[in-house]
Structure 1
């Protein structure tokens, strides 16, 4: 087997603190926050001299992580946050939640907006997409009683 696990998904943001607060409200835990800079980091990313603030967020089960990055140097060169659901590239991150309605209520003060509507998929899941901080596309799924 070539892959042992997926360590994290990276998301570049402008407001690191607001994004951390949003994902904390969703239920993720801040595992650590720091700064990465220097020639070695630029060799990995191909960006040369870079300086990035990073926060690692962990799901409660400890199996999944989001790496939130704010680039100080070099400047951000593209913005995909407002791309529609059918755009190429990064689409969304999906989270399983206990209570979809309560989760939406908790996230609204942090800027969450429903993209379409909450849909019941074959009495197995309640599903929706939201736009979170900075327009990030996030999926939420609540397993219903019929799910196995």
Structure 2
């Protein structure tokens, strides 16, 4: 049996409010927030005494979702340098198709986002860039050219 779909991507954050605001500014919709704890979650994630808050964000088309998770216990740990470069092993970025990429960049800047390199055009098809948001999360933005 093959997979049916990709349900969501999980991101552990320290500042859940800032991460939620950042992705909401990008155009994602808050689907729900909830505290999660108990033996069942301890067994799923392989940790003891888990207590987290989650915010589930949904793309406007309803197909993509991000689960933002703030660990209260046990405390989250870092495994790589803060603001790791794009060539660091592991999950590096999440790409979103956008309209009005310059406007999106300006709005994200108000939430502390920084352009990593530059806004570039790829052939005649796309304008794209990498943006570093809260928690060092790298978001790739692509705007299709007409």
With normalisation by structure 2, the TM-score equals 0.96
- Could you tell me how far apart the structure 2 residues matched to 1:58 and 1:19 are? 13
RMSD over equivalenced CA pairs, Å: 1.0
- Could you tell me how far apart the structure 2 residues matched to 1:46 and 1:83 are? 26
Question: Gapped runs of 5+ residues in structure 2?
Answer: none
- Could you tell me how far apart the structure 2 residues matched to 1:87 and 1:23 are? 23
Query: Cα deviation per residue 1:97-123 (whole Å; 9 max; x = unaligned)?
Result: 011001001111101100000110002
TM superposition shift of 1:49: 1.6
- Could you tell me how far apart the structure 2 residues matched to 1:82 and 1:120 are? 24
- Could you tell me how far apart the structure 2 residues matched to 1:55 and 1:17 are? 9
Name the SS for the 2:44 alignment partner: helix
- Could you tell me how far apart the structure 1 residues matched to 2:78 and 2:109 are? 27
**Could you list the runs of 4 or more consecutive aligned residues of structure 1 that deviate by over 3 angstroms after TM superposition?**
none
User: What corresponds to 2:105 in structure 1?
Assistant: 104
Q: Number of aligned pairs?
A: 145
TM superposition shift of 1:134: 2.1
